[in-house]
Structure formats: C-alpha cells, structure tokens
Amino acid sequence: MKVSQVVDALEWRVLAGAGKLDSEVNGGYVADLLSCVMAGAQSGDLWITLQTHANIVAVASLLNISAIVVAEGAPVPETTLSKAEEQGVPVLSTAEPVYQTVARMVELGI
Amino acid sequence: MKREFSFLGFTGRGGALSKIHELVREMKVARVMTSSFYSLAPTATMKELEDLLREHRISGAPVVVNDKLVGIVSIEDLIHALERQELDAPVADFMTSEELILARAQEPVMEALRRFEQTGIGRMPVVNGQGKLVGIITRGDITMALLHALQDLYTEAEQIQDRAQFFFDALESEATSLQLRYTVEKGNFARGGDASAKIKRALLRIGASPQLSRRVAIATYEAEMNLIIHTDAGGLILADIQPAEITVVAQDSGPGIPDVELARQPGYSTATSAIREMGFGAGMGLTNIDRCTDSMSLWSVEGVGTRLQMVFKVTPAETGESERDCEAT
C-alpha cells in the first residue's frame, strides 16, 4: 500500500512532502525517543510520533522512513516542515491519538 | 563490456532499479506525448476523416471545438459509416463523445500506462487542466520515452564510473582511502544529522550497499548528536573510507566523560530535560552505535576531550537480513 492510499483512507492531513507520497508502506513504528527510532524503525515504515522538532526529519531521512505521522494534531513548527520539503520527507498529521492511529493502520492491513 | 566501478568492491544492486521506478513515477504525460496531432471539427464529414486517416496513416483522430476535446473518432467509426454508406454525414454522428478515455498532461506516465492496460486501447487524447486538447499519447510514446531516459541514465552512470575509475587508477599508493571531514557545531540542532546524511550519500555514490550505508548512517548520527548535545565547543567527524573497511571518528575537546563504563550502559544519560523533550537523551546512543559497528572504541579524559572510533567492515554479502543491520533486535 502506498502512503497516498493510507492518507486518503485515514483522512490524514499532508503538511509537507505532498509530492513524495508514492512510496510503499512496509509497516509502522511508534516512538518519541529518536534513538529508539534509530534502532527499531525499518526502511519504509510509517513513523507515528508526537515529536515535532526538526530533527525528526533528519532521522526519517537517514532511515528512509516512508512518512512521519504526527498524532494528536500536534502543531508542527515551520522549520520542521521546510526541512521536510527540502529533504522530500512527507509529514502527515492526524487529530487522533497514537493508539487509535495505530489501530486504524492495523485495520488497513499495515 | 565495461567494468563496473565501485570503490567499495561491490555495487549496490538496488540503485538502477529504484532509478527506473523514480522515472516511471515522476515522468509526466506532458513530457512523453506528441503535441502535434490531427484533429477534426464535429461538422467535418466522415469522408474527410477517411482522407485524414489515409493521408497520415493514423487510426483515429480527436474531435475538437475551440481547442476543447468533444469526442474521438476512429477507423471503426469510419467502417460503420462505410457500411451505412453515410460518408457525407458529419463526424459528430459517429464519434464517441461520452466516457472518453483520456490522459491528463500533468499526471504521471504510470497512470496513463495503467489506463492503457485496463482498457486495451492504443492511444489517448491528452487534455490540460482546462479540458483543452494538448496532445496525443500512445503506448509506443511511453516505451520510447522510457528507453531514452534509461539510455541517459546509463550514459550518466557510465561517465561517473569512468571519472571515478580514472581518478582512483591514477593514484598510486599501498592503500588508497577516501577521507571526509565535517565540523559539528555545539547546540546546532537544526543541522543535526547533516554530516551523517552526507556520509550516507557519499557511500551510496561510491557503491556501498544500502544496508552498509544505513548502519554507518545510524551510528554516525548518534555520534553527531552527542557532539551537538554534550560538548563544550562542538567537534569533528572524520570518515575514512577504504575498500574493505570504513572508519568514522567523532572527536571533541571537552568536557570529557567522567565514567566511560557508566556512559556505555543502556539507558544512562546526562541529557537535560530540555534536550529530552526534543526526543534525545534516551541513553541508547552508544548502545545503538555498538550494535551498528563491527568494533568501537571510546576514549575520554575529563577536561581533555572524547574520541569515539567506529569501524565498519565492508562485506559483499551484506543483505537486509544481516545480523549487524541495526534493525530491531
């Protein structure tokens, strides 16, 4: 399943990287500690987090994460979004909490 | 056959394929279509259609009014007209005007290709955002464009390989290595990960596998963030890339780690709460580094500085299943 299909199905907002939603989603990973993400997230994962600092983009880019999903509708600083645009990392937003977000991803078969 | 150049002894095989993927996904219909085409007005006769098809050896034509696409008329429609002996009838009587299968100028070629496959048709009119007819696209157009793009890609890759090959061949030494050097500023979180990203890109360019590049990138990122978070005045990252081994050193001039053994314990961190709020300070940095490297050594003296050396062996067989892939444990 492609990132764009997940975005459509779960009605997420695309905050950055609208042109980069074509990559395949291989799975998901949840963490707010960057070192955990570094250790555990796989290439192609959707990374669900509440973290919005610009460094999430560097982490996602180094790991070839398919998209960052910011849960709880947490506001994402402009610096993060511009860095994400620059590096071609999609930043998506959902108003739902992490638990519901994951549950709906599982329903989709991710 | 040209020898494939790779400084790192083997080449990343995923490279060419992903480039092709990228091409197919990103190439727009507008770039591939033919923008010169023959069209007819709905008032033209079927006889005129016959002449047009015969003269230009085409099998159909779009029907337009003021540049807007209103229908498509094909050789099959012409046969119908011939059967009914209605060659003087207007094209409008025979054309298909509903549920037209068409392509949009700004959609990816991939989408057009899918439509060709689903419908089995041979050509589609291309319209822009305003519904104006701007071109015609055939399966052949797509194939040719991809072949050309592929050719360019290979030529470009060959040139890069030639240059790199020439460069390294011209150097005589007992052991040639490529050294990369980056200054990391203390507290500059906005640039956190820049050096790691550059090293990763360099490795991929000279032929490292995505897996090797990934574990070097992860370990280097942790070291880079340590310089940003914990040092007095930032530090340096030095990467020494040799065909069989990559060494990355992160060094700084203080404050130094009081208890190196303690610092290496998983979960131990001295990060402030402000830094933890940004998602750092999990106390997993050195643990991650340990898992991604083939060997690491950490030397530190309080008041003098810290030197972290990470060694990565280049193994041709490194695959996604590698035990040292820094994936989840």
Q: If DSSP states are collapsed to H, E and C, what string results for B167-202?
A: HHHCCCCCCCCEEEEEEECCCCHHHCCHHHHHHHHH
Sheet strand arrangement including B295-301: B178-184, B235-242, B245-252, B305-313, B295-301
Among B190, B217, B279, beta carbon nearest to A34: B279
Among A35, A42, A51, beta carbon nearest to B285: A35
pLDDT of residue B17: 60
pLDDT of residue B7: 64
Strand partners, A29: A47
pLDDT of residue B279: 86
Q: Residue B226 is part of which domain span?
A: 176-313
pLDDT of residue A3: 96
Q: Judge contact between B250 and B235, C-beta under 8 A.
A: yes
Asked which of B119, B142, B165 is the last residue of a domain, the reply is B142
Determine whether the interchain pair B25/A36 forms a contact, defined as Cβ–Cβ distance below 8 Å.
no
* Shortest Cα distance, chain A CAs vs residue B19, angstroms: 13
Task: Give the CATH number, domain containing residue B77.
Answer: 3.10.580.10
Residues of B in contact with A83 (CB under 8 A): 190
Determine whether the interchain pair B189/A53 forms a contact, defined as Cβ–Cβ distance below 8 Å.
yes
Residues of B in contact with A59 (CB under 8 A): 193, 221
- 3-class DSSP state of B135: strand
Is B5 inside any structural domain? Answer: no
pLDDT of residue B171: 78
B203 and B133 fall within a common domain: no
DSSP run (H or E) holding A101: helix A98-107
B106 and B180 fall within a common domain: no
Among A49, A51, A55, beta carbon nearest to B189: A55
The pLDDT mean for chain B works out to: 85
pLDDT of residue B15: 53
Q: Judge contact between A32 and B279, C-beta under 8 A.
A: yes
Residues of A in contact with B197 (CB under 8 A): 58, 61-62
Count other Cβ atoms within 10 Å, centred on residue B54: 10
Count other Cβ atoms within 10 Å, centred on residue A13: 12
Label residue B75 left, alpha or beta by phi (over 0 means left) and psi (-120 to 50 means alpha).
alpha
Domain boundaries, chain A: 3-107
* Residue with more model confidence, B2 or B131: B131
Res B196 pLDDT > 80: yes
Asked which of B121, B142, B163 is the last residue of a domain, the reply is B142
Residues of A in contact with B282 (CB under 8 A): 33-36
Q: CB-based contact (8 Å) between A97 and chain B?
A: no
B64 and B186 fall within a common domain: no
Residues of A in contact with B228 (CB under 8 A): none
- Summarised one tens digit per residue, pLDDT across range B69-121 is 999 999 999 999 999 999 999 999 999 988 889 999 989 888 898 899 999 88
The pLDDT mean for chain A works out to: 94
pLDDT of residue B165: 65
Reported confidence tier of residue B31, pLDDT bands at 50, 70, 90: confident
pLDDT of residue B328: 38
B135 and B183 fall within a common domain: no
The mean per-residue pLDDT over the stretch B122-141 comes to: 89
B186 and B308 fall within a common domain: yes
Res B321 pLDDT > 60: no
Is B8 inside any structural domain? Answer: no
Q: Name the packing angle between helices B139-169 and B109-119 (round to 10°).
A: 140
- Strand boundaries in B90-217, DSSP class E: 103-104, 123-127, 133-138, 178-184
Reported confidence tier of residue B26, pLDDT bands at 50, 70, 90: confident
DSSP run (H or E) holding B89: none
Res B157 pLDDT > 70: yes
Among A36, A62, A83, beta carbon nearest to B282: A36
Asked which of B92, B118, B142 is the last residue of a domain, the reply is B142
pLDDT of residue B206: 82
Count other Cβ atoms within 10 Å, centred on residue B35: 11
- Least confident among A37-51, A96-110, B99-113, B151-165: B151-165
Beta-strand relationship, B123-127 and B133-138: antiparallel
Is B100 inside any structural domain? Answer: yes
pLDDT of residue B2: 37
Res B190 pLDDT > 90: no
Contacts of B251 (CB under 8 A, 6+ apart): B235, B236, B238, B305, B306, B307, B308
Among B193, B284, B327, beta carbon nearest to A62: B193
Residues of B in contact with A35 (CB under 8 A): 222, 280, 282-285, 287-288
The structural domain count of chain B equals 2
- Least confident among B137-146, B192-201, B240-249: B137-146
pLDDT of residue B1: 36
Best of B209, B214, B291, B293 to disrupt the A interface by mutation (most A CBs within 10 Å)? B214
pLDDT of residue B92: 94
What is the residue whose two structure tokens read 């209605």? B86
Res A97 pLDDT > 50: yes
Question: Across chain A, how many H-helices and E-strands are there?
Answer: 5, 5
B88 and B199 fall within a common domain: no
Determine whether the interchain pair B284/A22 forms a contact, defined as Cβ–Cβ distance below 8 Å.
no
Q: Decide if domain A3-107 falls under CATH 3.40.50.1010.
A: no
- Least confident among A94-103, B155-164, B201-210: B155-164
Best of B237, B288, B289, B322 to disrupt the A interface by mutation (most A CBs within 10 Å)? B288
Determine whether the interchain pair A39/B214 forms a contact, defined as Cβ–Cβ distance below 8 Å.
no
- Summarised one tens digit per residue, pLDDT across range B242-288 is 888 999 999 999 899 999 999 998 889 988 888 888 889 888 899 99
pLDDT of residue B131: 85
Among B190, B284, B329, beta carbon nearest to A35: B284
Q: What percent of chain B has pLDDT over 70?
A: 87
Is B7 inside any structural domain? Answer: no
Res B143 pLDDT > 60: yes
- Summarised one tens digit per residue, pLDDT across range B289-308 is 999 999 999 999 999 999 99
Reported confidence tier of residue A37, pLDDT bands at 50, 70, 90: very high
- Summarised one tens digit per residue, pLDDT across range B37-73 is 899 999 999 999 999 999 998 888 999 999 899 999 9
